Amino acid sequence: MKTEKKALIVAAACAAFVALGDAPAPAEGAPRESIMFIGAHPDDSEGFAGLAFLLKDKYDLHIVDFTRGEFGLGKAGFLDGSTGRIRTEEEKAACAFLGATPHFVGQKNSGPYDSMACADSNAVARICELLAEIKPKAVFTHWPVDSHPDHVMTAAATYVALRRMKCRAEFYYYEVLLCQTRAWTPLYSVDISSVIDKKAEMLRKYACQNKNDELAQTKIKQAEKRGAERNPPVKYAETYTTFNGKPMPNGILANLPETVVVSPAAEVPAAK
């Protein structure tokens, strides 16, 4: 008994230590369930980083990039391959900060010079492979109505892969910039006020896309807008929806204390 008690005290002390730091909770004992976030470009975690920080202590997180954002710094960096390398390293740093595992599908950022990200058989096969390996409890990807073709292709390939694998994972959509995600009707609003600083810090890891802190500040403002749309309002929120636009009882979002269902009929101003 004495030894057991001592072990319990040590375990409690370790847990308290972990809770104070940024490291993920120890994965001792039974394997934890996993969540997959699939985005077109490294910095698309702008859409779900707040939620990811709320989930990180309970789930293993995986971030899947459809492309490496090869066209994010213009022509020269696209042609010599340097932008893809820079953004890959940035994604690895962001994932390390969050405590997630990065993966890459291998499509190339749309742009000129014959580059076009595509939901082709290679892309679908790679996502199927990741689904089989990770066996996620939930998959999040771009809402498919979007001004950026790479976001559209990512959503399409994810949907096809889920169907092909007859995957039973919970399936959600997130929004990215207001000028990209279109015809967006949020179903869930998640209060991310407790983790907004961590989200902003994570977005700053995508340094080449965050000139003058623009990406971080834009997303803070968007979270403020989404927070203000809740009734009662919260300081910062992210919004999500499901494939059929209906709530998923006992799903990971429904079970989060930070989540409320916002009625599709709510007066949500259209994205600019």
Binding residues for Zn ion, rule: CB under 5 A, are: 40-41, 44
Residue number of the CB closest to Zn ion reads 41
* 56 vs 68 by CB, closer to Zn ion: 68
**Residue carrying structure tokens 């403002």:** 221
Minimum CB distance to Zn ion smaller for 45 or for 259: 45
Residue 46 CB, nearest distance to Zn ion (Å)? 8
Radius of gyration of the chain from its Cα atoms, rounded to whole angstroms: 19
Which lies closer to Zn ion via its Cβ, residue 181 or residue 259?
181
To Zn ion, the closest distance from the beta carbon of 149 in angstroms equals: 10
CB of 175 to Zn ion, least distance (A): 11
Longest dimension (CA), the chain: 70
Beta-carbon contacts of residue 203 (< 8 Å; ≥ 6 apart): 43, 45, 46, 49, 94, 210, 215, 216, 219
Distance between CA atoms of residues 18 and 90, nearest Å? 25
Which is closer to Zn ion, CB of 41 or CB of 103? 41
Nearest approach in angstroms of CB 109 to Zn ion is: 9
CA pair distance 60, 35, nearest whole angstrom:
6
Q: Tell the smallest beta-carbon distance from residue 120 to Zn ion (Å).
A: 19
* Pairwise CA distance, residues 45 & 206, whole Å: 10
For residue 102, the surrounding DSSP H or E stretch is strand 100-104
Answer positive or negative: Cα dihedral of 23, 26, 27, 30: negative
Q: Smallest distance, Å, CB 117 to Zn ion?
A: 10
> Closest CB to Zn ion among 117 and 234?
117
Give CA torsion, residues 156, 161, 166, 170, to 10 deg. Answer: -60
Amino acid at 20: L
**177 or 190: whose CB is closer to Zn ion?**
177
